[in-house]
């Protein structure tokens, strides 16, 4: 009886964790450049003294779905999308280099080029890109950031820096709680000149709202089934106790 109860209890607990992963994906169905988290269940033996006679259910996030999202044309000069494979290098909250496909760029009050989430964009020089006061800003397909200085003619462009674009093997990346990708092992990825940008467009989330909603229903039904199993175990235990009393 305790085996049945333990398995159902762990299954319900892990189903709730899986539901939180799926809910996070659904909440980011419209987030620029978001990559969905994958999740799966598996049975794990409980090791201890003697033979492993118990198992429990475990939910895990084995990987991230790196499928590109749909490109949406915005017409905004500082909106940039990656053409094909590749990533934009940014500075995380911890100051370390990280990678994103969210190209909703802007210049903050300090003149630093950032993403919409506030992460500073890293240039090929290794530090955040600082944009001087300018009449206009242009970003080329190769990531070259140019400005027209204040008071200068339309053809007087000055190069500021080049956005660091990288293309690491997806198997070497892991996603942090901030949604940014980082290398599983310490280090930084070198710039890749083959990565190209598309101006005036943004990459949407690769989360399918319909699939996420269907998954949410499946997980809810799985949770309810696990709770019913626990109730059944309780009822069976009560019935067995009654039989023992009669004996």
Query: What tens digit of pLDDT does each residue of 183-205 get?
Result: 998 889 999 999 999 999 999 99
pLDDT of residue 56: 67
Residue range 137-168, pLDDT digits in tens:
999 999 999 999 887 877 788 999 999 999 99
Phi-psi domain of 95 (left: phi exceeds 0; alpha: psi -120 through 50; beta: other): left
Mean pLDDT of 195-222: 94
How far apart, in whole angstroms, are the C-alpha atoms of residue 175 and residue 63? Answer: 9
Percent of the chain at pLDDT exceeding 70: 91
Check: CB of residue 90 under 8 Å from CB of residue 98.
yes
pLDDT one-digit tens code per residue, 14-64:
888 889 889 999 999 999 999 999 887 776 777 777 666 666 666 666 789
- Are 130 and 112 contacting, i.e. CB atoms less than 8 angstroms apart? yes
Q: How many CB atoms lie within 10 A of CB 58?
A: 15
- What per-residue confidence (pLDDT) applies to 201? 96
Mean pLDDT of 105-118: 95
pLDDT of 230 > 70? The answer is: yes
- The yes-or-no verdict on residue 173 having pLDDT over 90 is yes
Mean pLDDT of the chain: 88
Bigger pLDDT: 104 vs 226: 104
Instruction: Work out the pLDDT band at 246, boundaries 50, 70, 90.
Output: low
- For residues 231 and 109, the model is more confident at 109
Q: Give 2's pLDDT tier (boundaries 50, 70, 90).
A: low
Contact 143, 198 (CB under 8 A): no
Q: For residue 177, is pLDDT > 70?
A: yes
């Amino acid at each position: 009886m305790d085996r049945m109860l333990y398995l159902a209890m762990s299954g319900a607990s892990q189903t709730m964790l899986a539901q939180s992963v799926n809910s996070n994906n659904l909440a980011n169905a419209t987030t620029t450049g978001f990559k969905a988290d994958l999740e799966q269940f598996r049975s794990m033996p409980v090791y201890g003294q003697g033979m492993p006679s118990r198992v429990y259910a475990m939910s895990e996030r084995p990987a991230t779905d790196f499928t590109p999202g749909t490109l949406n044309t915005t017409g905004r000069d500082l909106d940039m999308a990656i053409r094909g494979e590749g990533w934009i290098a940014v500075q995380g909250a911890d100051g370390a280099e990280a990678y994103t496909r969210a190209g909703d760029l802007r210049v903050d009050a300090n003149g630093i080029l950032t993403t919409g989430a506030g992460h500073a964009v890293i240039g090929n020089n290794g530090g955040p890109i600082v944009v001087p006061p300018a009449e206009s800003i242009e970003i080329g397909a190769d990531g070259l950031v140019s400005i027209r200085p204040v008071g200068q003619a339309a053809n007087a462009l000055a190069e500021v820096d080049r956005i660091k674009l990288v293309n690491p093997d997806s198997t070497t990346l892991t996603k942090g709680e901030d949604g940014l990708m980082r290398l599983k092992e310490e280090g930084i990825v070198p710039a890749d000149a083959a990565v190209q940008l598309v101006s005036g467009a943004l990459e949407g989330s690769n989360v399918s709202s319909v699939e996420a909603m269907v998954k949410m229903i499946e997980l809810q039904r799985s949770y309810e089934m696990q709770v019913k199993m626990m109730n059944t175990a309780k009822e069976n235990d009560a019935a067995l106790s009654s039989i023992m009393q009669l004996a």
